[in-house]
């Protein structure tokens, strides 16, 4: 059993949990993920590691309320327990030999981008960070990022905070100004990552993306997380989750991620009354 030692609501749809998991914290690296189960009847939920504290023996996860399991997870509080918390899984972010990097996060992907940016910055890499949100109310981890990079840029779709535009708007500006990066690392919605890659391509900047396909077992045995990279099948859970963005078949990935969208929406609608009975108020 894995105890929840801290809970924080970052915005109306995103929640942070700090979990007591000393063996996972001991080995965790930026870019890796865990798979959890709330109870014996729960589904296996893969979540990228949002932070870790080796001394405290804790791992932080940050997730968005999008389906039954994430909504149920958000109902838990400090002192509650998770049944399973497996990891760290996947390959960590490669940092060796880098002198400059730009980390780009969109929406919930900013939570995943944070440990990557911090890891690069702590390793002495000159690190710029670009994060994008739909509006000011959805901004998360601003102060954390400011302490984990050299230059920090916030973009909002409606211009209500930071600069108006998409993450690619700032990426284009920086590259056109002559800014040099050894690598760009993009983490966020698949369409965003696709266009980050397209923006970087004319400038020849190596670009990595952190993929989030459907996952089940996290060991490569089920094949559920298969993605096409460079014309070959890869498994995000063991070969990734980070891949060369120029080689990823983004259109195939978007189609596969949408496979169960209708079923998930139906389940959420049919079971809404259960959440109301449990008290679906994250602020309390």
All structural domains of the chain with their residue ranges: 2-89, 100-257
Q: How many alpha carbons fall within 13 Å on the CB side of residue 260?
A: 10
Q: What is the pLDDT of residue 216?
A: 75
Look up the pTM and report it. Answer: 0.84
pLDDT at 271: 56
- Segments of the chain scoring below 50 in pLDDT: 273-284
- Side-chain-side CA neighbours of residue 204 (13 Å): 1
CATH topology (fold) of 100-257: Rossmann fold (3.40.50)
Cβ distance 96 to 123 under 8 Å? no
pLDDT digits over 141-193, tens only? Answer: 999 999 999 999 999 999 999 999 999 999 999 999 999 999 999 999 889 99
CATH number for the domain formed by residue range(s) 2-89: 2.40.30.10
Quick one: pLDDT at residue 169?
A: 96
Which pair of tokens denotes residue 37?
Answer: 């189960």
């Amino acid at each position: 059993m894995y105890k929840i030692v801290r809970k924080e609501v970052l915005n109306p749809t995103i929640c942070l949990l700090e979990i007591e998991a000393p063996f996972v914290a001991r080995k965790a690296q930026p870019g890796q993920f865990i798979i959890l189960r709330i109870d014996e009847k729960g589904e296996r939920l893969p979540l990228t590691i949002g932070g870790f504290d080796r001394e405290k023996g804790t791992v932080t996860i940050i997730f968005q309320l999008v389906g039954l399991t994430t909504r149920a997870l958000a109902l838990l509080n400090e002192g509650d327990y998770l049944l399973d918390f497996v990891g760290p899984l996947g390959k960590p972010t490669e940092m060796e030999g880098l002198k400059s990097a730009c980390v780009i996060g969109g929406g919930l992907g900013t939570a995943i981008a944070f440990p990557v940016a911090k890891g690069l910055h702590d390793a002495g890499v000159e690190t710029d960070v670009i994060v994008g949100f739909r509006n000011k109310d959805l901004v998360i981890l601003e102060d954390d990022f400011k302490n984990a990079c050299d230059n920090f840029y916030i973009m909002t779709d409606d211009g209500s905070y930071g600069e108006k535009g998409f993450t690619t708007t700032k990426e284009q500006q920086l590259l056109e100004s002559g800014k040099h990066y050894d690598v760009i690392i993009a983490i966020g919605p698949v369409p965003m990552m696709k266009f980050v890659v397209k923006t970087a391509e004319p400038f020849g900047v190596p670009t990595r993306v952190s993929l989030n396909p459907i996952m089940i077992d996290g060991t490569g045995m089920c094949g559920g997380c298969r993605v096409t990279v460079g014309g070959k099948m890869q498994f995000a859970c063991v070969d990734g989750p980070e891949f060369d963005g120029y080689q990823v078949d983004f259109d195939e990935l978007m189609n596969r991620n949408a496979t169960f969208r209708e079923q998930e929406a139906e389940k959420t609608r049919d079971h809404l009354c259960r959440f109301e009975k449990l008290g679906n108020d994250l602020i309390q």
